[in-house]
Structure 1
Amino acid sequence: MNLKLLMILLIAFCGSSTSVCVKRSPLQNEFKNKLYYFESDYKASWFNAFVACRNMGMELLSIDSDEEFDKIHEFVKEKMNYRNGLTIWTSGVMKQKGQFIWINTGNPVTLSKWWSGTPNNYGGHEFCMHVWLKHKQFLLNDAECQMESYYICESRKI
């Protein structure tokens, strides 16, 4: 069965309690107190990814530690087409030049896993944060919010 069709059926069946049902999805993983859903078929702008996660009763990915970042990296290798140029939205947004926060919590992004020289707000239009696989490195980068990328949603374990 097509995974997109499975998700549509899952959403139709689960209604407003989708986050409970997503736990049973083959596209999910767990780490500590979080469940993750990996969207690897549909690319979206940052805003549309944010809305898609909310519609599932989840939130766009926030990464609390370098340890969690490394675990997400492992999951991405398992769940997604791991290739050069892969980009994945997070909930990171620019608060002010050079400073990003997680939109879900308002907490500052304190990870050390940034591409060299970033965030740089290249061209004055990079207000959203994604994870980028380039030259065999998987690191954070600032990007234009209307760019289309895959995304990861998360929820707290119940």
Structure 2
Amino acid sequence: MIAHGEQFAVECAVRTDLSSPVSEFLDDVQAGAADRVEGLEADEQIDWFDWFMAACDGLADFGTLPHSHDHNQLLDGIWEIKHSVLRVSFFDTDGTGTYEPLIDRTPYSRFAARPWPDDFLYYLRLTTAFEKTTQKTPPAEIELAKTVRTEDLEHDRQP
């Protein structure tokens, strides 16, 4: 569990083999040892981790991130929390293995401000984390987040 509050529980999604890509990434960043992050030095990784944990605490307690530009909707119900060059993708669920995206990406482009669904389900599951080095999120990152979501939801459906 990353954060638990009145609005949300922010948790790491798990794969079929019970690994958690985002949990492993966060452990590395917390120690300033994420080798695959080229855009941040060790002390900057630790500072990012501190920001991320505080942001998740606020999200869990109050239902929002520190600033309206700290998130994006990606595709198919995958969202991202963003700060500096690092991104953490997530989805929402009720914890029983169900899932339904809240905002369709196509009409999202007509919003003047980034939408933030007031009706996210209670569990926000973090799926993947990555360094964003291009203007658009790499499709492989979105597909990995969707795969982790599928596996995590299957885990929720197990008795």
Task: Give the TM-score normalised by the residue count of structure 2.
Answer: 0.26
- Structure with the higher fraction of residues in helix conformation: 2
